[in-house]
Amino acid sequence: ASVVPAKQTRPFPSNFLFGAATAAYQIEGAAAEGGRRDSIWDAFSRVPGAVINADNGDVACDHYHRYRDDVALMKRMGLETYRFSTSWSRIRPDGGVVNAEGVDFYQRLVDELLDAGIMPWLTLYHWDLPQALQDRGGWTNRDTSDRFTEYALDVHDALGDRVNVWTTLNEPWCSSFLSYTAGLHAPGHYSRGEGMLAAHHLLLGHGQTVRELRARDESLNLGITLNLTVADPVDAGVPADLDAARRIDGQFNRWFLDPIFQAAYPQDIFDEIADDALRAAIRPGDLETIATPIDTLGVNYYHGEYVGGTPPAVPPIGGEAPTDRRGESPFPSSEGIFWHERGLPRTPMQWEVQPEGLSRLLKRVWTEYAQPAGTSLFVTENGAAYDDEPVVEGGVVRVHDEDRVDFVRAHLGAILDAVDAGVDVRGYFYWSLLDNFEWAWGYEKRFGIVRVDYDTQERSIKDSGLEYSRIIAARALDAPPAPDQSQT
Ligand code: GBH
């Protein structure tokens, strides 16, 4: 007789928060309404060839008009918190004077969230710089850091009494190197020097904003979100492979973590890539400002990197190296670094699915940076685009996105592995709540746990969304069957 094993579940810590994330330009639409003016993404989307299918954020998910329904949907799904960003171009359309209508939209959104019992998690900058500021050099101009702090204080004037968690920047690596060096994101420049200047001024804007917000209100929870990765050498016994992994780690991770937590750029990478313009841009006191203590570090994790110091015999599916449209690298220094294939599954974006990398990343960031600083750790983005195929069943649109269900479960499991190893991870935000404008990929790639029909704007919760709701309700993950149980 077979013994039915008791259902095994892995509970989440009692203080763990479950949420989903979006960003203003990716979902709001209403680009020319409510006094909003162009951001760099409006302008970039008009550049021929910049965005697939010449898509843009003019309408997107029309969230600007449908935010009430979207909040109701979040409530139905049981989300405890919602991570969204405010649009600088709504609040200060020209980078200067405050636009009351823009402020009003976010007040209504936050009130709606609070009424629904959902904690607002506000990000001030998710890549949509007012074009008027780009016309003056954008993030390569130090003045933009000051404008950012002014804008942040405006948002605080409007929402400081209702929003406790404030994230300054989302993924400054993307808004510097991917934007000013690789040309893949707005403003679409191809300059290694500009990327480094942009990164420094973004970090400076972050630090001085944390300082100013803290001075206004000590009770705010302040932080930043970084896109971090795990760089594995092809062969840890080969110095050139180890070196490749060190340099990728340095440019993705340490270039941002070290100044924020240790008031210094990583010396090895700095010696290799810093040019005279960057050295001149770093003024006395800047690094101390950047290292203003934060309460929360948000980690965005999508995939790892598998790199070596020599070219692979067979080029990996994703290519031997990330390149811009001209075939060059987004990194200020990546000469002699090659991406290899290790046979992991890949999403249609060719990103590896490597949940175990998330466990290792969290352990490392916790022990080396967050814990010593007394900073809490959250996974503020994680998700995947798959080629969803909607079907109508009993008059209802269903998306049986098994791949995404597995993806979410695997990454939540990886977080629990980190928790078991002593890492204090406080929450998880799936990217994204909705299918949305996926930057240079336009509407072609869908990351949502909720499907958006872009013709009708109808929303349908995908199977992954239903599964996520169940996990939230149970506050636990069903354990996978023990490997030997099924054999006997
Ligand atoms: C996030 O960034 C964004 O915050 C979000 O807005 C976006 O919709 C979501 O991901 C999905 O893309 O070495 O040049 O090949 C993603 C972070 C970091 C993922 C860099 C891709 C490889 C870049 N990205 N990574 S490259």
- For the chain of 488 residues, list the mean pLDDT of each consecutive stretch of 10: 69 98 99 98 98 98 99 98 99 96 98 99 99 98 98 98 98 98 96 98 99 98 98 98 98 98 98 98 98 98 97 89 85 90 96 98 98 98 98 97 98 98 98 98 98 98 98 89 45
Q: Is the dihedral of CA 415, 419, 423, 424 positive or negative?
A: positive
Place of tokens 């798959």: 386
User: Which pLDDT value is given to residue 6?
Assistant: 60
Atom 21 (ligand 1): residue with closest C-alpha?
Answer: 302
Q: Which of 194, 305, 381, 467 is labelled catalytic? A: 381
Q: Which of 174, 175, 256 to mutate to test the pocket of ligand 1 (most atoms within 8 A of CB)?
A: 174
Pick the atom of ligand 1 nearest to 178's CA: 14
Q: What is the pLDDT of residue 159?
A: 98
- From the list 288, 289, 251, 286, the residue with the least C-alpha distance to 268 is 251
**Which residue's C-alpha comes closest to atom 13 of ligand 1?**
322
Quote the pLDDT of residue 104: 98
179/176 Cα distance (integer angstroms): 5
Instruction: Please give the model's pTM, rounded to 2 decimal places.
Output: 0.96
- For residue 485, the model assigns a pLDDT of 44
CA of 199 to the centre of ligand 1 (A): 16
Is the four-CA dihedral 450, 471, 110, 138 of positive or negative sign?
negative
401 in contact with ligand 1, CB cutoff 6 A:
no
297 with 365: CB under 8 angstroms? yes
Q: Quickly count: other Cβ atoms within 10 Å of residue 8's Cβ.
A: 12
pLDDT of residue 5: 61
Contact of 385 with 446, CB cutoff 8 Å: yes
Cα–Cα distance, 175 to 124 (Å, whole number): 13
Query: Distance between CA atoms of 161 and 17, rounded to whole angstroms?
Result: 21
* 411 marked as binding residue: no
Closest Cα to atom 7, ligand 1: which residue? 438
What is the atom index within ligand 1 of the atom nearest the CA of 438? Answer: 8
Polymer length of the chain: 488
171 as an active site residue: the answer is yes
Placement of tokens 């942040």 in the chain: 152
206 and 166 Cβ atoms separated by less than 8 Å:
no
Can you give the pLDDT at residue 174? 98
Could you give the residue ranges of the DSSP H alpha helices within 350-401? 355-365, 371-373
Residue with the nearest Cα to atom 6 of ligand 1? 23
Q: How far is residue 350's CA from residue 53's CA, in Å, rounded to a whole number? A: 19
DSSP letter (8 states) at residue 375: -
Catalytic residue, chosen from 171, 305, 352, 467, is 171
For residue 345, the SS3 value is coil
pLDDT of residue 4: 61
**CA–CA separation, 18 vs 229, rounded Å?**
22
Q: Longest C-alpha distance within the chain, in Å?
A: 76
Centroid of ligand 1 to alpha carbon of 143 (angstroms): 27
For 328, phi and psi rounded to 5 degrees? Answer: -105, 170
Written as one letter, the residue type at 151 is Y
438 CB near ligand 1 (under 6 Å): yes
Nearest residue to 140 via CA among 111, 175, 110, 115: 175
Q: Is 402 a catalytic residue?
A: no
452 strand-pairing partners: 459
> How confident is the model at residue 7, as a pLDDT?
61
What's the number of CA atoms in the CB half-sphere (13 Å) around residue 297?
Answer: 31
Q: Hey, is 32 helix, strand or coil?
A: coil
Tell me the CA distances in angstroms from 382 to 358, 407, 412, one per residue in order: 10, 9, 10
Query: What secondary structure does DSSP assign to 233-285, as a single string?
Result: ES-TT-HHHHHHHHHHHIIIIIHHHHHHHHSS--HHHHHHH--HHHHHH--TT
Residue of minimum CA distance from atom 15 in ligand 1: 322
